[in-house]
C-alpha cells in the first residue's frame, strides 16, 4: 500500500483532538514556509532606483550598490559596499546586480569606479591586506621606498600611484572582481590609482582605484 494512503488511514484512526492538533501544526508549517519564500525571494530581488543622472541597483540581502551614470558620465559605473561579509558572498550579490545592469543598459561601462581600495568590500579588509603583502615582496615597491627615504623626495611628484597600479594588476589583487566581469565577456584591469596611503612599515594599504572595462 502506498505510504500516502497509510498516512491517511493512520490519521483517520487518531482521536479527534489529536487530528485537530496535527492539522494546526501542519497549517503553521505551510504558512511559515510561504512567508519565508516570499521574504527570501524579496531579498534576492534586484531593486532599481532611478535618480538624477544615475540608476542604482541593489539587493536587500547585503548593503551593496551598483550605480550606473547617465549623461556625460554614461560610460562610468560605480560599485559600493558597506558589508563586512566574505568577498565570495559579496561577489555573489555583485554578480546579480551586474547581470541585471548589463541586461538593462545599452552597453557595458568603459570605466568602473571602486572607490577607496580599503573599502572595496565594505569593512572586509582582505583587499587591503593583499596589497600590503604583495608590496612587501615587490622589487618595484622596494625601489619606491628608497626614493621615499631620500632627502630629495617630493611627495607631490613621487606618490606611489604608478607602483601600486602595477602591483594591483600583476598580483591579481582584485581577482574575484576580474573573474566576475570575465563571465560576461568583459576584461577589467586597474587603469588609474590616486592618493596612496602608506602605513608605519612603509607598505601601501589603501588608495583610490579605477578600472578600465573592455570586451574580450
Of 6 and 52, more confident: 52
Q: Which whole number is the average pLDDT over 4-24?
A: 56
Classify the phi-psi angles of 143: left when phi > 0, otherwise alpha if psi is within -120 to 50, otherwise beta: alpha
Q: Where are the domains of the chain?
A: 3-42, 47-215
pLDDT tens-digit series, residues 65-74 = 999 998 888 8
Percent of the chain with pLDDT over 90: 62
Which residue's entry shows cell 560610460?
Answer: 75
Of 156 and 62, more confident: 62
Q: Is a pLDDT exceeding 90 seen at residue 78?
A: yes
One-letter-per-residue 3-state SS of 11-59: HHHCCHHHHHHHHHHHHHHHHHHHHHHHHHHHHCCCEEEEECCEEEEEC
- The answer to whether residues 80 and 45 touch, using CB atoms and an 8 Å cutoff, is no
Q: Is a pLDDT exceeding 50 seen at residue 31?
A: no
Of 93 and 46, more confident: 93
Element containing residue 181 per DSSP (H, E): helix 175-182
Instruction: Please tell me the predicted confidence (pLDDT) of residue 25.
Output: 60
Q: Cα–Cα distance between 197 and 99 in angstroms, integer?
A: 33
Q: Is a pLDDT exceeding 60 seen at residue 75?
A: yes
Instruction: Please tell me the predicted confidence (pLDDT) of residue 175.
Output: 96
Q: Which whole number is the average pLDDT over 47-55?
A: 78
Q: Based on C-alpha coordinates, what's the Rg of the chain?
A: 26
pLDDT tens-digit series, residues 88-146 = 999 999 999 999 999 999 899 999 999 999 999 999 999 999 999 999 999 999 999 99
Instruction: Please tell me the predicted confidence (pLDDT) of residue 157.
Output: 72
Q: Which whole number is the average pLDDT over 20-26?
A: 55
In this structure, what DSSP letter does residue 167 have? H
Output the pTM of the full model: 0.76
Percent of the chain with pLDDT over 70: 77
Amino acid at each position: 500500500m502506498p505510504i500516502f494512503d497509510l498516512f491517511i488511514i493512520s490519521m483517520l484512526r487518531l482521536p479527534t483532538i489529536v487530528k485537530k492538533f496535527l492539522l494546526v501544526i501542519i497549517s503553521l508549517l505551510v504558512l511559515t514556509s510561504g512567508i519565508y519564500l516570499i521574504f527570501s525571494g524579496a531579498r534576492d530581488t534586484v531593486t532599481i532606483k532611478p535618480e538624477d543622472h544615475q540608476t542604482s541597483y541593489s539587493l536587500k540581502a547585503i548593503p551593496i550598490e551598483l550605480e550606473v551614470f547617465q549623461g556625460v558620465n554614461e560610460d562610468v559605473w560605480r560599485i559600493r559596499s558597506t558589508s563586512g561579509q566574505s568577498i565570495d558572498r559579496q561577489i555573489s550579490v555583485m554578480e546579480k546586480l551586474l547581470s541585471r545592469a548589463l541586461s538593462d543598459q545599452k552597453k557595458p561601462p568603459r570605466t568602473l569606479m571602486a572607490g577607496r581600495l580599503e573599502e572595496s568590500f565594505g569593512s572586509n579588509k582582505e583587499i587591503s591586506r593583499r596589497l600590503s603583502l604583495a608590496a612587501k615582496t615587490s622589487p618595484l615597491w622596494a625601489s619606491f621606498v628608497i626614493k621615499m627615504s631620500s632627502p630629495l623626495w617630493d611627495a607631490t611628484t613621487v606618490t606611489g600611484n604608478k607602483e601600486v597600479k602595477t602591483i594591483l594588476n600583476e598580483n591579481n589583487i582584485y581577482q574575484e572582481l576580474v573573474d566576475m566581469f570575465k563571465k560576461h565577456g568583459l576584461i577589467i584591469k586597474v587603469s588609474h590609482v590616486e592618493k596612496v596611503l602608506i602605513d608605519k612599515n612603509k607598505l601601501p594599504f589603501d588608495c583610490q582605484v579605477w578600472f578600465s572595462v573592455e570586451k574580450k
